[in-house]
Amino acid sequence: MRKIIFREIGMENYGPYTEPFILECPENSLTLITGPNGVGKTIAMDSMSFTFYGTTSKNERGDDVVNNQVGKNCHTWVKFEDSDGNTYVCDRYHKHSKYKNTARLTRNGEDKPYRVGHREVSAEIDRLICDRKTFTNTLMFGQKVKDFFTDLTDTAQKDIFWKLLDLLKYKHYQATAKTESDKTEKTIQSTLNEIEVAKGIIENLESQIEEENKRADAFEIDRKRMLDTLNESIGDMKTLIKTTEEALEKIPDEDLKPLQEAVFILKGKLENVGQDAANIKKEVEAEGYKKVNELTDTRNQKQKEVSAKYQKQREDIESQEEETRNANATILSEIKEKQKSVELESSGHTATISGNNNQIEKLKSTDLEIGSPCPTCLEAITKKSIENIESIIGKLIQENQGHMQTLESLQKQYDELESEWAREHLDGNDKMSTLAQKKMELKAKEEAELKAIENRLSELKQQIADVANNTLKERIQELEVNAQKMQSDLTKAESVYFEAEKNFKDRQAIQQKLTEYNTKVDGFKDQIKTTEEKEFDESQLKHLKNSKQQKLKEIEDSKAKVSEVEAEIKRLAFWKEAFSKSGIPSMLIDQAVPLMNASMRKYLDLLSNGRYIVTFDTISQTKGGEYRDKFSVNVLDTKTQVNNRKQLSGGQTRLIDIATILTLRDLKAELGEVEFNLFGFDEIFDALDDSNIGYVCGILNSLKENRSLLVISHRHQDELEADNHIQLT
């Protein structure tokens, strides 16, 4: 049996607790918790239910328990261990600044919780410890617990009873057995269907096998027909070969090579005729060119001689021209020199005249008054002076007249020189034009002689060309006659060759056909061989037969499977029955009821000295005599004979409740799977008289062995053997 050992119950910002408050659970001890009304005793014990299931014994949840003053960071926790040595911490947070509203379950001091969230944690607590109802009815005896066993309906009581004995799992086992059984039924059905399907497939396979056998027979018939046809074809082909060979013999078999060579040679010669003509032309032309070149050289020589002769004469005339030009130029320049000296002399006279005239003017313009200063000598003018001046003027005029006369004679000389220059110039020109005339005549003569030489050359060239043309014509004619003969030879040689070539091709074509016919004969022979060797493909037939065998085996296997599964169904039917209410659960209940009744009797004897009798029933008989699965608690006050729970007083009910919770706890310890080290009692003495309080104290004192008892009480503290006392203020 598993054991759960509770170590610590803690809370902070929960109910009235703003500071962390821890309730330890020491073993083998009774802890008494006291304090005034409303100090927080009940809510502290309730923190365990709140931590595990999110609700207190008074059904307070989340926001109800967060400390009103702080308004946040509500945290409660329970530390416990299991019998395998695992340690657990279950934390619940509400309005918590770090964890918000959640629950966490941590194992063996690991950093991360292994269950997080209300649902996850509650499910794990149900598994590890027990569900909430069992918790309320076996661990904590509350002050004002609504859900306590004796107040519950028959059905709810039965539910707790089943949970205590862990009977619900048999329902699940039965359901599993039923599902398995249904599944197996289905398997049988589907296997039978498979057998039917396989039978259908076998029928189909058999008809396919029959078809395949028919195909094998048809294959043999076809092979024989094919062989006949092929032999017939070979016969036909041999007749054809014979006829073709006869035709081949009739066609002459000549050697094409010499004939082809003859044609080739003639063609080559004919092709050369053009080249020969070109060569003749070149030869004749070269002869002509040679002669023309010789004549041209002669002409050039003659022309050179003529040009040299006339060049000599021209040079003579040109030297005469030079001499004449020079002599004339000397004469003309001498005349010009003379003219220049006359001019020079004339200009001297002209200057003197002008100077004299100026002096005359000056003397004439002077106021020649006696006594006034002389403009020339500045002495006072005298009559003599005046006469003297007038004589000077007279002399000057006279002098000027002499100069004038000289000037006239000089002009005459100049004019005569001018006429002489003109005469000499004309004479020079005449001489030069006579010489020029001579030169022109020479030029004309030279040109005439050169022209005559040129004309002669042209005449000779023409004669040479004529001779060359005639020679060329004759030789080409000769060549053409030869070419015509060669052409006629070629035509003949070609026709002989073409005839031979045609025969050759005809023979080739016939030989080709003969090869084809022989290949066909070989092909037919090959086909005969393959046809003879060909065998009917029996793989499909084999495959079909195999498939049929396989299907037959499958049917055998399926039949074996059906009988196997039928045995399984019988086995499952047994388990269905065993797990049903009338099976194992009924057996366990049968075992539990006397245990419970004995336990109840034991506690009630202690508490009431046998006044009250409480028994449990699980199966009741109907009027029809059938049995019904029902749970009931029967109460009897032996003193008043009251057997209805509602008729009992508050104290009586309290006593029966105490006996019941102790009985249920015993039952759980005896038949359940888990046992706890903790037992909590809140105001257990309420409504009890002093003697009953004494009995209860006796029971509590005896219960602390191997356990931790938490007892909240205002009264009779002395009668309890408390090991620890927590005084809340």
Ligand X SMILES: Nc1ncnc2c1ncn2[C@@H]1O[C@H](COP(=O)(O)OP(=O)(O)OP(=O)(O)O)[C@@H](O)[C@H]1O
Binding-site ranges for ligand X (CB under 6 A):
15-16, 35, 37-43, 65-68, 143
Residue carrying structure tokens 């032996």: 638
In the complex with ligand X, which residue's Cβ is closer, 67 or 660? 67
Q: Least CB distance from residue 684 to Mg ion, whole Å?
A: 12
Q: 35 is in the binding site of which of ligand X, Mg ion, none (Cβ under 5 to 8 A by kind)?
A: ligand X
Q: 10 is in the binding site of which of Mg ion, ligand X, none (Cβ under 5 to 8 A by kind)?
A: none
Q: Least CB distance from residue 97 to ligand X, whole Å?
A: 18
Amino acid identity, residue 368? L
Q: Least CB distance from residue 728 to ligand X, whole Å?
A: 7
Q: Least CB distance from residue 683 to Mg ion, whole Å?
A: 6
- Tokens of residue 576, six digits: 């269905």
Max Cα–Cα distance, the chain, nearest Å: 224
Q: 76 is in the binding site of which of ligand X, Mg ion, none (Cβ under 5 to 8 A by kind)?
A: none
Only segment of 41-49, 308-316, 525-533, 545-553 that touches Mg ion (CB under 5 A): 41-49
In the complex with ligand X, which residue's Cβ is closer, 35 or 348? 35
The answer to whether residues 139 and 679 touch, using CB atoms and an 8 Å cutoff, is: yes
In the complex with ligand X, which residue's Cβ is closer, 38 or 85? 38
The set of long-range contacts for 533-542, using a CB threshold of 8 Å and a minimum separation of 24, is: 534/223, 536/215, 536/216, 536/219, 536/220, 538/216, 540/212, 541/209, 541/212, 541/213, 541/216
String of b and e for 576-586 (b: at least 16 CB within 10 Å)? bebbbeebbbb
In the complex with Mg ion, which residue's Cβ is closer, 11 or 165? 11
In the complex with Mg ion, which residue's Cβ is closer, 58 or 107? 58
In the complex with ligand X, which residue's Cβ is closer, 38 or 624? 38
**Which residues in 127-166 contact Mg ion (CB under 5 A)?**
143
CA nearest 141: which of 696, 522, 517?
696
> Could you say whether residue 42 binds Mg ion (CB under 5 A)?
yes
Q: 15 is in the binding site of which of ligand X, Mg ion, none (Cβ under 5 to 8 A by kind)?
A: ligand X
> What is the radius of gyration, based on Cα positions, of the chain?
84
Number of residues that bind Mg ion (CB under 5 A): 2
Q: Least CB distance from residue 157 to ligand X, whole Å?
A: 27
In the complex with Mg ion, which residue's Cβ is closer, 16 or 375? 16
Any idea what DSSP says for residue 372? S
Any idea what DSSP says for residue 139? T
Q: Least CB distance from residue 158 to Mg ion, whole Å?
A: 30
Q: For the residues of 558-589, what is the DSSP string, one character each? A: HHHHHHHHHHHHHHHHHHHHHHSTTTHHHHHH
Instruction: Give the integer Cα–Cα distance in Å for 144 and 57.
Output: 8
Length of the chain: 729
| Closest residue to Mg ion in the complex (CB) | 42
The answer to whether residues 652 and 113 touch, using CB atoms and an 8 Å cutoff, is: no
As to burial, measured by CB atoms within 10 angstroms (0-12 exposed, 13-18 middle, 19+ buried), residue 273 is middle
Instruction: Give the integer Cα–Cα distance in Å for 431 and 437.
Output: 10
In the complex with ligand X, which residue's Cβ is closer, 22 or 216? 22
CA nearest 331: which of 416, 435, 417?
417
Q: Least CB distance from residue 15 to ligand X, whole Å?
A: 5
Query: Cβ neighbours of residue 141 under 8 Å, at least 6 residues apart?
Result: 148, 657, 658, 661, 679, 680, 681, 682, 684
Any idea what DSSP says for residue 281? H
Q: Least CB distance from residue 72 to Mg ion, whole Å?
A: 25
In the complex with ligand X, which residue's Cβ is closer, 71 or 258? 71
Q: 65 is in the binding site of which of Mg ion, ligand X, none (Cβ under 5 to 8 A by kind)?
A: ligand X
Only segment of 34-42, 122-130, 315-323, 714-722 that touches Mg ion (CB under 5 A): 34-42
Q: Least CB distance from residue 681 to Mg ion, whole Å?
A: 11
In the complex with ligand X, which residue's Cβ is closer, 39 or 573? 39
String of b and e for 253-271 (b: at least 16 CB within 10 Å)? ebeeeebeebbeebeebee
The answer to whether residues 134 and 163 touch, using CB atoms and an 8 Å cutoff, is: yes
Q: 625 is in the binding site of which of Mg ion, ligand X, none (Cβ under 5 to 8 A by kind)?
A: none
Q: 470 is in the binding site of which of Mg ion, ligand X, none (Cβ under 5 to 8 A by kind)?
A: none
Q: Least CB distance from residue 58 to ligand X, whole Å?
A: 8
Only segment of 37-45, 148-156, 229-237, 286-294 that touches Mg ion (CB under 5 A): 37-45
Q: Least CB distance from residue 74 to ligand X, whole Å?
A: 9
Residue carrying structure tokens 């015509």: 484
SS3 of residue 679 by DSSP: strand
In the complex with ligand X, which residue's Cβ is closer, 364 or 725? 725
Q: 704 is in the binding site of which of Mg ion, ligand X, none (Cβ under 5 to 8 A by kind)?
A: none
Instruction: Give the integer Cα–Cα distance in Å for 524 and 597.
Output: 110
Q: 39 is in the binding site of which of ligand X, Mg ion, none (Cβ under 5 to 8 A by kind)?
A: ligand X
SS3 of residue 685 by DSSP: coil
In the complex with ligand X, which residue's Cβ is closer, 637 or 682? 682
CA nearest 29: which of 718, 711, 705?
705
Q: 523 is in the binding site of which of Mg ion, ligand X, none (Cβ under 5 to 8 A by kind)?
A: none
Q: 585 is in the binding site of which of Mg ion, ligand X, none (Cβ under 5 to 8 A by kind)?
A: none
Residue 71, Ramachandran bin (φ over 0: left; ψ between -120 and 50: alpha; else beta): left
Binding site for Mg ion (CB under 5 A): 42, 143
